Copies of this chain bind each other. A is one copy, B any other.
């Protein structure tokens, strides 16, 4: 069903080369495939994605844990590249020696998605609209095909094969990562023993989330610089992309968080919002600032395709194939992937005769609690990995 030629890049860790445990000196490696047959029917040539590994693969190749990243995320899940890095990878609280996903026991692999939006980040290697089309020698731009969560998983499968992984002890991911790990469980059930699905959607992206994703895409389309995807690097639709990323942030937080941090403060105590539309509230300016920082390293065409990939996610028609054990971890204050999605999901999995456990993250940080307080589920994850 799924065939491709794989070119192992020389940065793939060799048998005797140490794989890094998180800490300092995590390395981004590059995985290359000569061809990838996409679910849309097209074939993508010269695919490359970045990945990181922590810990060591055992002889049997069955102690691997796959980590799949969220919408605006990257494969930098744990550790630091340099001691001077301000922040470690996003799930560093979970991944490392002695931690819940214990790199003394497990070989952890984390991989950049196709169409990763952070195309200008030195921490990301991805194949997407900014990549060079091998037939033209120029970036794909608007001609890059639609990709799917299933395509992301097929790249990860090829990487896993190349690394010698025979079986995943677990696959885990937050948000869009949860879609990838569910897709893994449906596409390669014999390779996935356990699924840890955090701040999840569930068996499919449902109508409301499809519409939310549409609302993220819309500001890009409104930007006159977007030019139907035919923009150039010197005139990108940054204003639209910024607004898109602002909506992503807004949808990922919670009103209690906003109340605590910003309340009704003005951005400038001397400039009343009653005097002019230009005078704004603190939270508006803060969200603008965050979004414009994010937009600097992001690409609009990539974001549109990533949003479409999430819209397209569904394993409804393959749910009978599922064989794994499931640990489903919603955040109680999530306003993007409502905890109800997870609860419904657990009921559906159990109705299929599968083992599915629900552990809810308490907190008022919204969707982001799946990153920020993931350590609260450490014990549940540790236990789940041992059963």
Q: Which residues of A contact B (CB under 8 A)?
A: 39-40, 146, 148, 204-212, 214-215, 218-219, 222-224, 239-240, 243, 246-247, 250, 253-255, 258-259, 261-264, 273-277, 280-284, 287, 304-305, 308, 311-312, 314, 335, 338, 340-341
A304: chain B residues at CB < 8 Å are: 277
Q: List 21 A-B contacts (CB under 8 A).
A: A205-B264, A206-B258, A206-B259, A207-B255, A208-B254, A208-B283, A209-B255, A210-B284, A214-B281, A214-B287, A215-B243, A218-B219, A218-B243, A219-B219, A219-B222, A222-B239, A222-B240, A255-B338, A274-B312, A277-B305, A281-B311
Q: Which residue of B lies closest to A206 (CB)?
A: B259
Q: A250-B211, A311-B281 are in contact. Are A146 and B276 (CB under 8 A)?
A: yes
Find out whether the CB atom of B146 lies under 8 angstroms from the CB atom of A215: no
Find out whether the CB atom of B250 lies under 8 angstroms from the CB atom of A212: yes
A206: chain B residues at CB < 8 Å are: 255, 258-259, 263-264
Q: A214-B284, A246-B215 are in contact. Are A262 and B207 (CB under 8 A)?
A: yes
Q: Which residue of B lies closest to A223 (CB)?
A: B222
Q: A40-B275, A246-B215, A277-B308 are in contact. Are A207 and B240 (CB under 8 A)?
A: no
- In the assembled complex, the Cα of A322 lies from the Cα of B206 at a distance in Å of 44
Find out whether the CB atom of B222 lies under 8 angstroms from the CB atom of A243: yes
- In the assembled complex, the Cα of A368 lies from the Cα of B82 at a distance in Å of 51
- In the assembled complex, the Cα of A148 lies from the Cα of B224 at a distance in Å of 33
Return A96 CB to nearest CB of chain B, in Å: 34
Return A39 CB to nearest CB of chain B, in Å: 7
A254: chain B residues at CB < 8 Å are: 208
Q: A40-B274, A264-B204 are in contact. Are A258 and B222 (CB under 8 A)?
A: no
Return A281 CB to nearest CB of chain B, in Å: 5
Find out whether the CB atom of B259 lies under 8 angstroms from the CB atom of A208: yes
Find out whether the CB atom of B283 lies under 8 angstroms from the CB atom of A207: yes
Q: Which residue of B lies closest to A205 (CB)?
A: B264
Find out whether the CB atom of B207 lies under 8 angstroms from the CB atom of A274: no
A273: chain B residues at CB < 8 Å are: 146, 308, 311-312
Q: Which residue of B lies closest to A239 (CB)?
A: B222
Return A212 CB to nearest CB of chain B, in Å: 7
- In the assembled complex, the Cα of A264 lies from the Cα of B211 at a distance in Å of 10
- In the assembled complex, the Cα of A46 lies from the Cα of B261 at a distance in Å of 42
User: Which of A146, A214, A304, A335 has its CB near the most chain B CB atoms (within 10 A)?
Assistant: A214
A276: chain B residues at CB < 8 Å are: 146
Return A209 CB to nearest CB of chain B, in Å: 7
Give me 9 other A-B pairs in contact (C-beta within 8 A), A206-B255, A214-B284 excluded: A146-B277, A148-B274, A204-B264, A205-B264, A207-B283, A208-B254, A210-B264, A222-B223, A255-B341
Q: Which 10 A-B pairs have the closest CB atoms?
A: A208-B255, A207-B258, A208-B258, A207-B262, A214-B284, A207-B283, A224-B224, A222-B222, A211-B283, A210-B281
